[in-house]
């Protein structure tokens, strides 16, 4: 007699990231990062928690991974860790921070692209959500723009 096939595990929905951006704050490619008003990333928050538990020196971008603007944490502190960064030396943490920054910019760019693309086919109406096999991206336009 064989055992019944295992049931697929259902993973409850959880927030992967939350971004609030304002395109009017950075209308050019050079000022694109200035569009970011608020950012939370579960992966970044978990990474920082792991670093804290190990006692690694590094930078914390506000509580829960919140950041605003170019390399600034909420509260205005620069993103420079205790080791490296300010003196030009690179640490693994510096690389992680750069990777987080790139991820933020990619997600904002993706969201803007989806909004603009959807407007092409919806008589100017904004898109509400995009569903993929593994995720759902919810987009809410607070002000037309």
What are the structure tokens assigned to 120, written together? 């092409």
Backbone angles phi, psi at 86, to 5 degrees: -70, -35
Which secondary-structure segment (H or E) carries 130? strand 129-131
SS3 state of residue 135: coil
What are the structure tokens assigned to 133, written together? 């096999």
- Please check whether residue 3 is in contact with residue 10, taking contact to mean a CB–CB distance below 8 angstroms: no
DSSP state for residue 70 in the 8-state scheme: T
Instruction: Give the model's confidence band at 71: pLDDT under 50 very low, under 70 low, under 90 confident, else very high.
Output: very low
Helices (H) and strands (E) in the chain, counts: 2, 6
Q: For position 18, what pLDDT does the model report?
A: 92
Question: What value does the mean pLDDT take over residues 16-25?
Answer: 90
First to last CA, the chain: 63
- Please check whether residue 34 is in contact with residue 25, taking contact to mean a CB–CB distance below 8 angstroms: yes
Reported as a single tens digit per residue, the pLDDT across 98-117 is 998 998 999 888 888 888 89
Location of structure tokens 């928050």 = 45
Higher pLDDT, 1 or 43: 43
Question: What value does the mean pLDDT take over residues 52-57?
Answer: 75
Question: What value does the mean pLDDT take over residues 116-145?
Answer: 86
- Please check whether residue 111 is in contact with residue 22, taking contact to mean a CB–CB distance below 8 angstroms: no
Assess whether pLDDT exceeds 70 at residue 82.
Answer: no
HEC string of 27-38 equals CCCCCHHHHEEE
């Amino acid at each position: 007699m064989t055992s019944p096939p295992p049931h697929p595990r259902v993973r409850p929905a959880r927030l992967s990231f939350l971004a609030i951006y304002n395109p009017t704050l950075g209308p050019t490619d050079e000022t694109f990062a200035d569009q970011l008003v608020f950012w939370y990333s579960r992966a970044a928050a978990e990474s920082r928690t792991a670093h804290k538990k190990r006692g690694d020196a590094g930078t914390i971008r506000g509580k829960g991974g919140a950041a605003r603007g170019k390399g600034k944490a909420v509260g205005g502190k620069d993103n420079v860790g205790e080791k490296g960064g300010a003196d030009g030396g690179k640490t693994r943490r510096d690389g992680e921070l750069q990777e987080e920054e790139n991820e933020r910019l990619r997600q904002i760019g993706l969201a803007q692209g989806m909004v603009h693309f959807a407007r092409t086919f919806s008589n100017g109406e904004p898109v509400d959500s995009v569903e993929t096999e593994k995720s759902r991206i919810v987009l809410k336009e607070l002000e037309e723009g």
